[in-house]
Amino acid sequence: MKSDHRLGRNFYKGVAGDAVNILLAAAAYNFKRAMKALLHLLKIISEKLSERPSMNDFSLANAF
């Protein structure tokens, strides 16, 4: 369990150090999840924008 979430090394001493280490690891884990969600959202937005027709797709010759 400790190695899964990179809690193997503790550079802080004492009980307070253990608590700080766990809080920092949890914050990093949550930040990583948030960045993955943001990347996924940006990919969806990029795909939707690339599907929209642009002004170059319309021709005045076909309009009349």
DSSP 4-49: TTT-S---S-HHHHHHHHHHHHHHHHHHHHHHHHHHHHHHHHHHHH
Asked if residue 18 belongs to a domain, the reply is: yes
Per-residue pLDDT tens digits for 17-64 = 888 888 988 999 999 999 999 999 999 999 998 887 666 666 665 555
For residue 58, being part of any structural domain is answered with: no
Number of domains forming the structure of the chain: 1
Asked whether residue 43 is domain-assigned, the answer is: yes
> Which tokens sit at 62?
């076909």
Residue 64 within any structural domain of the chain: no
d(CA 58, CA 50): 16
* Residues of the domain holding 38: 1-50
Q: Are 6 and 25 in contact (CB under 8 A)?
A: yes
Please check whether residue 59 lies inside any domain of the structure. no
Higher pLDDT, 1 or 28: 28
